[in-house]
Structure 1
Amino acid sequence: MAGGFVKGEIKLDTKPVYYSGQVVSGSLVFTLDNPISFSVIYIQFLGEATVSWTESEIETVNGVQNHRIINYFGREEYFNQRVTLAGGTGVSQLPAGPQSYTFSYQLPFNAPSSLKREQGKIVYSMKAHLVHADPSILVDELVKEFEIVAPFDLNLGSTLIKQPTQVEFEEVYGCDCFCSSNPVTIHVKLPVSGYCPGQVIPVSIEVTNQSSVEITKMIFQIVSKELYRSHQPPSEYILPETVLTTTKKGPVMARSKRNLTCELMVPEIIPPYLENCGIIDVGYFFRVTIKLSGCNDELQDEAEICLGLVPLREFTEEYVHPLADSLPTGPIPDASQAPPHLLLPPVTNAVRAQSNSSLNRVQYAPPQQNPYQNPPPYPGLNSSYPGQRPVSSTSMEMKPKLEIGFNVPADVNTGYPGAGSSYPGAGSGYPGTRPGYPQPNPQGRGNPPSYEASLQFPHPPSSMPGPSYSQGGFAPSAPPPSS
C-alpha cells in the first residue's frame, strides 16, 4: 500500500444517494510517497443483488435420523462497468505527491432500489484500481458504496392505482351457532390505491350489524411482505410480515348501524421499487381485522396498495416527502427519454413463472413488448444464473387469496419502457422469458475481467452528456438549491 493509494479516498460531488438514471461524479484522490510505474488506473461500478439463507433438513434412513444443512443462494448483476482514469496504453509514470482524477458514470434508468436485509440485499459500489507495471505488486484498491432510490411515480403506473381500494365482510351470526339469519355487513373503502409516505389515508367504514353479536373492535393496518428467491438450489423464502402502521375503531353494538371514518398514516419510509429485480419481492397491503364478542372467530381480509415516491395529482395538492433530507438531490430523471443502452434488460414473467408462493413482487408496469429487442451485453454477468429459473416446492406458503400486482392496459405510459410486467393472482403462473446472461469470467465470479477485455464498453464514454432531466409529477423532496 505504501507505493499506491496512500491516504486515498473516493470523493463524490453529492451525497452518496442517487435516483436511477442520475450521474455519479466525483474524484479519486491519493498520495504517493515515491514515484511509481503503472499500467492503468480505473474505477469499476458494480450493481448486484444477492440472497442467501440456510435451512435444516432431517432425513431418516433405516430408522436413523441425519441432520443436513442446506445453503440457498441467488445472485443478479445489473451493471459492471469500468471508467478509465489514467493509463491503459502501456507503462506510465506517476510522480510522488498528491494525485487527483475526476470521473463520472451514468446509472441505468431502471436500476432497482438499494435494499439491505438479513436474507438478501441490493448493493451498489465503486472500486478504484491502480494496476502496477510490475505484476508482482498487488493491485491497490479503494471501495465506496452508494445507494440508489428507484423513483416510482404513481401517476405513471396502472390506472387501477387511481381507483378505490375496498374490503368487504358479510357474515351471518345468531344467538346459537348460526341458528338465525342475522347478517353482519361491513364495507371498508380507501379513496385510491396508491399513496406516498407521510400521507394520511381517509378510511370510510359502513357497518350494518343485524345480529346479536357485538363488534368489539375494528383494526386497520398497513403491512409489508417480502419474498426471496434462490437459484442454487431453486427455492423461496418468505419473511414474517411486518406491520408498518395501525389504527383502530369501534365498538359497534348488536342490532345497530353506523357510518364511521378514521385516518391511517402512511409510514415515513422510502419504499423500495424493485421492478427490475427478479430475486427479491416487496409488497404492501391494507389489512382489516374485525374482532367480535363471545367465542366467535375474528374476521380478516386485505387488499394490495401501492407505496410510491411521487403522489397522485388528483389526490394531493402539495407534498414534500417526510424523509426529503435522505433522498437524492436534484430532479428525477425522465426515464421515458432514456437511450436503450441505459436501460437494463427487463425482468419478464418467466423469472417467477414457476413460483409456488402467492406472494409476488408489486408490479406497476404494463406487459408491453420490450422496444429494445437486443440490449447490449453487460460485462461480468454471471451465466450460472440464467433468466429462466425453475423454483422447487417449498413448505412456506401464503394465503392463496392474495394478489400482488396491478394489470395495466397496454396503452398506459409508465415511464419505464418494457420494464417488467404485472403479476397475476395467486397460483396463476407467469408466462414469458427473460434473456439469458452472457458467459461468466473464466477467472471466477470473485475476480473482475482483465482490463484489456473491458475496453469495449456497451455504455458510452463518461464524457458523453447524459439525457436531459425533467421533474415527473410532484416533487418528492424539496427543490434543489439554485446555483
Structure 2
Amino acid sequence: MGKLKEFQIRLASNKTVYSPGDVITGDLLVRLESPSENNGIKIQFYGHAYVHWSEQQRRGSGKNRHTVTVHYRGKQEYFNHSVYVLGRKGEKQSLSQGEHVYPFSFQLPGNLPTSYEDYIGHVRYEIRANIRKPWKIDPKARRVFTVLESVDLNNVPNAMMPAIGTETKHLCCLCCKSGPIKAEFQTDRSAYVPGEFVTINATLKNKSNSKVKATSASLMQKVTYRATRKSRIRWIKICDLEGKECSKKKTISWSNEKLQIPPVPPTLKATCKVLDIEYYLMFQGHLRMCAVDLREYEEITIGTIPIIDLYQNTANQQPSMQEYGFQESMPSAVVDDQANQRPAEAMIVPPRAIYKEVSGGAVNLSAEDDDGKAMAETTYAPQYTFYDWSQPAFTY
C-alpha cells in the first residue's frame, strides 16, 4: 500500500478515564503519502483480565529427579467487539492520498472492574485497529484507557470506625526468653480515598533487652491472583512513614502522625474472577538482623467517593459544590440526601476530584497481546481518583 504517514486512535476530548457503562467516542486517523489498496480497516474494543506466573518445581525421584518450569495462567474476558470502519472482511478497498477519518462509538458494559497493571497480571481495556493488507504485515494501532469503578465509602459498613491492632513479640536468645515487645496502634477510621491522610496513634512498649531500631507505618496492597489450578498472593508496599527507635525497657508513642494515600486503584473484590485488591495498614517494629520484625496488619478500604459526614460544621461559607467540581465524583442523590439532614451553610465539600497516574508510574506493554498476536509496543499508566488536599489545610 502507499506509504502510511500516520495511523492513530483518537479519543474525544482526549478523555482517558471512563466509568462502567460510559459511551466511548473518538475517531481513527489514517494519513497516506500516496494512494493505497487494502482489504478493509478493522477496529476492536477489548477488555479483559489476565494473570500469568511461573514456578520451578522438582519432579521424579532418585536419578530421575529433575526441575521443570510450571506456568500458571488465568483469564477473564469482559468484552470483545470488532467492526470494520472501512469495507468488509476480505473486500478490496482503495484509499486516496491524504487524510481519512473514521468516527467510532462503543458503550462499555455496566459492571467492569477497575484497570490494574503489574508484572504478574492486569485488568486492561483497549482499542485496537489494523489495516488489512494481503500478503503483508498489517499496520496496527492501539489505545489503552482506564476504567474506574465507583467505590462509595458512604456505603461501606463501619467506615468511620477506627482500625485497631495489637501485637506482642518475644525475643529468644539460646534458652532465654526476653520480656515482650508490645505494639498497639489505631487509625482515625477504616476507609479513605486517595489524597486523604490516615491519622495514626500508636504505642510501643519494649520490655526486652534489645533495642527496636525503628518503627514505621506502611500502606500495603495485597493482590491475590487466581490461575486455573493455583492462586498467588503478592504484598506491595505503597508508601510508608518512618518513626523513632525504642531503647530496651523503654516506651515510645506516635501521636496523630499522618500518612497520605497516593493515587492507587480502589479496593477490588468480587468483580474480577482472576484478581482481587485489598489494602492494609501495617505497623512495624524493626528488630535486630537475626530476628523477625514485629508486624501488625489491619485492613482498610480505599474508595473513590469520600465519606460525606467528614465535611461539615465549618465556620465560614464555603464555595458551591459546582465550584469544587463535586458533582463529578459523587452521585447527586447522595449529596441531596445528606444536604437535607443539615443546613447548607454548615457543609464543607472536599476539593475537586482529579485523576492522577498510579503511584509507581507507567508499565511497558508487551509487543504481543495475550494470544501472541503482534501489537505496537508502548507504555501505559492507569489513572485513579485523587483528592488534592494539602497538609495542614485538611485535618481531622
Q: Same fold (TM over 0.5)?
A: yes
Partner of 2:114: 113
Partner of 1:194: 191
Partner of 2:160: 162
CA deviation after TM superposition for structure 1 residue 7, in Å: 3.0
Please say if residues 165 and 193 of structure 1, whose CA atoms lie closer than 8 Å, have aligned partners that are also in contact: yes
Q: Deviations over 1:344-364 (max 9, x none)?
A: xxxxxxxxxxxxxxxxxxxxx
Q: Deviations over 1:450-483 (max 9, x none)?
A: xxxxxxxxxxxxxxxxxxxxxxxxx8468xxxxx
Q: Deviations over 1:228-272 (max 9, x none)?
A: 2222xx12233354352132145377477x764142323423325
CA deviation after TM superposition for structure 1 residue 92, in Å: 7.8
- What is the TM-score when the length of structure 2 is the normalising length? 0.65
- Provide the aligned length of Structure 1 versus Structure 2: 321
Q: Distance in 2 between matches of 1:206 and 1:47?
A: 47
Q: How does 1:7-406 map to 2 (within 5 A)?
A: 7-15=6-14, 17-21=16-20, 22-31=22-31, 33-34=34-35, 36=37, 41-88=41-88, 94=94, 96-97=96-97, 98-131=99-132, 136=134, 140-169=138-167, 186-206=183-203, 216=212, 217-231=214-228, 234-239=229-234, 241-242=236-237, 244-249=239-244, 251=246, 254=249, 260-271=254-265, 273-275=267-269, 276-290=271-285, 298-315=293-310, 331=328
Q: Deviations over 1:113-162 (max 9, x none)?
A: 33332222232221224457xxx566844321222142443424421333
- Are the structure 2 counterparts of residues 206 and 118 from structure 1 closer, same or farther at C-alpha, using a change threshold of 3 Å? closer
- What is the TM-score when the length of structure 1 is the normalising length? 0.55
Q: Distance in 2 between matches of 1:208 and 1:272?
A: 34
Please say if residues 74 and 274 of structure 2, whose CA atoms lie closer than 8 Å, have aligned partners that are also in contact: yes
Q: Distance in 1 between matches of 2:138 and 2:287?
A: 67
Q: Deviations over 1:35-58 (max 9, x none)?
A: 6475x5442101122222222222
Please say if residues 215 and 290 of structure 1, whose CA atoms lie closer than 8 Å, have aligned partners that are also in contact: no
Q: Distance in 2 between matches of 1:278 and 1:126?
A: 22
Partner of 2:347: none
CA deviation after TM superposition for structure 1 residue 303, in Å: 0.9
Q: Distance in 2 between matches of 1:145 and 1:7?
A: 14
CA deviation after TM superposition for structure 1 residue 212, in Å: 7.0
CA RMSD of aligned residues (A): 4.3
Please say if residues 11 and 27 of structure 1, whose CA atoms lie closer than 8 Å, have aligned partners that are also in contact: yes
Q: Deviations over 1:362-399 (max 9, x none)?
A: xxxxxxxxxxxxxxxxxxxxxxxxxxxxxxxxxxxxxx
- Are the structure 2 counterparts of residues 268 and 185 from structure 1 closer, same or farther at C-alpha, using a change threshold of 3 Å? closer
CA deviation after TM superposition for structure 1 residue 110, in Å: 3.1
Q: Distance in 1 between matches of 2:167 and 2:182?
A: 6
Please say if residues 60 and 66 of structure 2, whose CA atoms lie closer than 8 Å, have aligned partners that are also in contact: yes
Q: Distance in 1 between matches of 2:146 and 2:152?
A: 18
Bigger RCO (CA 8 Å, 6+ sep)? 1
User: Any stretches of 5+ residues in structure 1 without a counterpart?
Assistant: 319-329, 337-444, 448-474, 479-483
CA deviation after TM superposition for structure 1 residue 302, in Å: 0.8
Partner of 1:463: none
Partner of 2:343: none
Please say if residues 130 and 140 of structure 1, whose CA atoms lie closer than 8 Å, have aligned partners that are also in contact: yes
SS at match of 2:328: coil
Please say if residues 213 and 292 of structure 1, whose CA atoms lie closer than 8 Å, have aligned partners that are also in contact: no
Report the residue type matching 1:28 in the other structure.
Answer: L
Partner of 1:389: none
Please say if residues 150 and 273 of structure 1, whose CA atoms lie closer than 8 Å, have aligned partners that are also in contact: no
Partner of 2:363: none
Q: Distance in 1 between matches of 2:246 and 2:38?
A: 79
CA deviation after TM superposition for structure 1 residue 27, in Å: 1.2
Please say if residues 184 and 204 of structure 2, whose CA atoms lie closer than 8 Å, have aligned partners that are also in contact: yes
Please say if residues 168 and 185 of structure 1, whose CA atoms lie closer than 8 Å, have aligned partners that are also in contact: yes
Please say if residues 127 and 143 of structure 2, whose CA atoms lie closer than 8 Å, have aligned partners that are also in contact: yes
Partner of 1:453: none
SS at match of 2:159: helix
Please say if residues 195 and 386 of structure 2, whose CA atoms lie closer than 8 Å, have aligned partners that are also in contact: no
Larger mean Cα displacement after TM superposition, 62-71 or 266-275: 266-275
- Are the structure 2 counterparts of residues 59 and 476 from structure 1 closer, same or farther at C-alpha, using a change threshold of 3 Å? closer
Report the residue type matching 1:81 in the other structure.
Answer: H
SS at match of 1:160: coil
Q: Distance in 1 between matches of 2:200 and 2:26?
A: 47
Please say if residues 31 and 96 of structure 1, whose CA atoms lie closer than 8 Å, have aligned partners that are also in contact: no
- Are the structure 2 counterparts of residues 164 and 130 from structure 1 closer, same or farther at C-alpha, using a change threshold of 3 Å? same
Give the percent of matched residue pairs that are identical in Structure 1 and Structure 2: 22
Q: Distance in 1 between matches of 2:91 and 2:168?
A: 79
User: Any stretches of 5+ residues in structure 2 without a counterpart?
Assistant: 315-326, 334-370, 374-384, 389-396
SS at match of 1:192: coil
